[in-house]
């Protein structure tokens, strides 16, 4: 059964999924990269970005699960890049180089339309200016019987959560304090939205929790 899910999304102890002052030099905000220290050493990350072997174990198990059975992604414009307003040109094609790690259709939420971009490795970026429901409709069609992954950032996940459109969320709570930035669950009542913690695992670098609708 197709699921709409979040996976491998990291937050700090104080609940921030991104640090303050996001910019081209700090795409995750000040301190934001520290949220993902559990992910960087994993075999999944290392093979994806360096072609070398990395660590196995529980962190790697969760990292691997995040990429299984995914047929399409939805991301916010802020996750795609630092450009705001109208697109000045077609030069910016994301943070990930010529061969992004998605390898399937990616729907980018935006207020400013743009032609789709075909990248190496099977990734195509589509830009959706008609809202979160339209992006989800297109992503579900592309994914067919596979899952749709809501890739972030914080604002994108919050919109889909508040609309009660996410079935399952894997959140990695890193032992990091950011102090400010974008809080994932601020003013959100997970119980009223129907979520329950169905799984939790503590590792040296993170607490992994799975929230699911029940």
What pLDDT is recorded for position 50?
Answer: 86
Pairing of strands 70-76, 117-118: unpaired
**89 occurs within a structural domain:** no
**47 occurs within a structural domain:** yes
What pLDDT is recorded for position 164?
Answer: 96
Buried b (16+ CB within 10 A) or exposed e, 122-153: ebbbbbbeeebeebbebbbebbeebbbbbbbb
What pLDDT is recorded for position 25?
Answer: 84
Percent pLDDT > 70 in the chain is: 100
Instruction: Tell me if residue 67 falls in helix, strand or coil.
Output: helix
**137 occurs within a structural domain:** yes
**91 occurs within a structural domain:** no
* Spans of the chain below 70 pLDDT: none
What pLDDT is recorded for position 200?
Answer: 98
What pLDDT is recorded for position 103?
Answer: 95
Domain of residue 122, CATH code? 3.40.430.10
User: What's the domain count of the chain?
Assistant: 1
**125 occurs within a structural domain:** yes
Model confidence, pTM? 0.95
Q: For the segment 118-132, what is each residue's pLDDT rounded down to a tens digit?
A: 999 999 999 999 999
**87 occurs within a structural domain:** no
**92 occurs within a structural domain:** no
Burial class (CB in 10 A: 0-12, 13-18, 19+), 187: exposed
- Cα-Cα end-to-end distance for the chain: 15
**Domain residues for 28?**
4-82+99-213
**38 occurs within a structural domain:** yes
> Tokens 């709570």 identify what position?
173
Tell me the C-alpha distance between 200 and 181, whole Å: 25
Cis preceding linkage at 153, omega within 30: yes
């Amino acid at each position: 059964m197709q699921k709409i899910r979040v996976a491998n999304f990291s937050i700090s102890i104080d609940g921030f999924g991104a640090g303050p002052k996001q910019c081209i030099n700090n795409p995750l905000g000040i301190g934001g990269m520290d949220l993902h220290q559990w992910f960087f050493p994993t075999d999944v990350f290392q093979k994806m970005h360096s072609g070398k072997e990395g660590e196995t174990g529980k962190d790697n198990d969760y990292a691997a699960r995040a990429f299984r059975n995914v047929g399409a992604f939805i991301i916010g414009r802020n996750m795609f890049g630092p450009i705001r307003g109208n697109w000045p040109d077609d030069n910016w094609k994301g943070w990930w180089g010529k061969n992004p790690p998605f390898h399937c259709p990616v729907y980018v939420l935006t207020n400013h339309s743009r032609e789709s971009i075909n990248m190496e490795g099977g990734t195509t970026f589509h830009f959706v200016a008609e809202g979160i429901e339209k992006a989800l409709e297109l992503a579900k069609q592309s994914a067919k019987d596979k899952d749709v992954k809501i890739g972030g950032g914080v604002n994108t996940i919050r919109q889909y959560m508040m609309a009660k459109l996410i079935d399952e969320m894997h959140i990695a709570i890193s032992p990091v304090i950011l102090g400010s930035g974008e809080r994932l669950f601020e003013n959100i009542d997970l119980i009223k939205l129907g979520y329950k913690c169905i799984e939790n695992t503590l590792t040296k670098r993170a607490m992994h929790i799975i929230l699911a609708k029940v």
